[in-house]
Amino acid sequence: MKSEFRNATLMFYPSGNPKLRLFALVYFCSLLIIWTVLGHTVLGFEQAWAHPVLGVAAAAAVHFMLEWVHAWSQGRRVRWAGGTRAFLMFLPPAIIPGLACAMLIYPNQRIMPVVFAAALSIASKVVFRAPVGAGLTQHIFNPSNFGITVTLLLMPHVGLAPPYQFTENITGIWDWALPLILLATGIFLHGVATGRLPLVLAWLAGFAAQGLLRAAIFGVPWLVPFVPMTSAAFILFTLYMIPDPATTPLEPKRQIVFGLAVAAVYGMLFVFHVVFGLFIALFAVCAVRGLGLYLTKPSSALEPQVARAARTEAVPA
C-alpha cells in the first residue's frame, strides 16, 4: 500500500514527498468546505443547502462503491480501513467534486443534476484512464470538470451558477479582498505542493493573447476580453481546476503546452459562440491528451525516479 501511494505521488508531485499529496488534498478540500459555508451564509450562493449536501453524498457513495469493487477484484483491503485517519484521508477526493459541482452549476430547484454531475465525476476517474509509463495508468479528466461539462451538455435546462453569486452580498474592500485571497491561496498551493505554476502562467498568458487577438480582429476595446478574469469564478477555474496534478503533465514544458492549448481552444469556441467555453476547452484538451497517451502507450513518459519506483510493481494510480 505504501509503495502504491509513493508511485502515485512521484507521478504527480515533483519532490516525490507523499505528504505533499495529502497536503494538497486536505488544503483544497478545506478551502472548498469553508467557501461553501461562507457562500451559503454570507456571500450569496443561490443554490439550496441540499445541493452541496447531496452532491457530496452522491460522490462519496460512488467513491466508496468503486473502491470496494477494486479492492475485491485485487484481493486487498479497502483504503478506508485501518482507523479514523485512513477513513478521513479517503474522503477528500469525494468531497471536492461533490462541492465543486454543487457550487458551479445551477439547476434551479432540481437536485438530480447535481447528484448526476457529482457521481459522474467520481466514475470518470475509473472509466477514462490512459497509460503513462512504468505500468501505471492515470485518469485523464479533471473529475469535477468532466461531471460539470457532461451535465451541461446533456441537460439543456441546467446552466452555470451566475458569477455574481460569489461576491453578491459583500461590498467595498471585500469585492477585491475575496479574489485576492483565492489568488494567494492558489499560488501558495501550486508553488509549495504541486509544481503547476508554469501551467497556470501559460494558461493566463494564452488567455490574454487570445483575448487581444479577438479584440484586434473584431474591433472591440482591448479591455473587454479581460473582463472574465476579474471574477472569483475565473480564479477558481484557473487555480483549482485547470492545474489538477493528477490530469496534467509533470514536465514544465508540457505544462506550458497544455495551458496554451486550453486557452487556444477557448478562444476558438468563443469565436463560434459556444457557451460554457472554459469547461469544454479543458474537457477537449484533456481528451486529446488522454487519447495521445492511450495510442502511444508510453513506456518512459514518467520521470526516471517514477520508473525506478514502479519497476517492480505496476499499480494503477
Chain segment 77-121, per-residue pLDDT in tens: 999 988 898 899 899 999 999 999 999 999 998 999 999 999 999
Q: pLDDT tens digit string along 257-313?
A: 999 999 999 999 999 999 999 999 999 999 999 998 888 876 554 444 444 433 333
Rounded alpha-carbon distances, angstroms, from residue 147 to 82, 97, 123, 233, 279 = 30, 8, 9, 17, 10
Nearest to 203 by CA among 246, 160, 237: 237
The single residue listed with the C-alpha cell 471536492 is 96
- State the pTM of this model: 0.86
Range of the domain at 60: 2-166+173-310
- Count of structural domains, the chain: 1
Domain membership of residue 317 (yes or no) is: no
C-alpha cell at 7: 508511485
| Residue 267 domain-assigned (yes or no) | yes
Cell of 246: 493528477
Can you tell me which residue has the cell 520508473?
307
The 10 Å Cβ neighbour count of residue 28 is: 22
Integer angstrom CA distances of residue 21 from 89, 217, 245, 274:
11, 44, 9, 35
Q: Is position 92 within any domain? A: yes
137 lies in some domain: yes
The beta-strand segments (E) located in 172-311 are: none
Residue 63 lies in a domain: yes
> Per the domain annotation, does 51 fall within a domain?
yes
Does residue 316 lie within any of the structural domains? Answer: no
In a domain, 40, yes or no: yes
What is the per-residue pLDDT across 188-207, written as a single tens digit (0 to 9) for each? 888 888 889 999 999 999 99
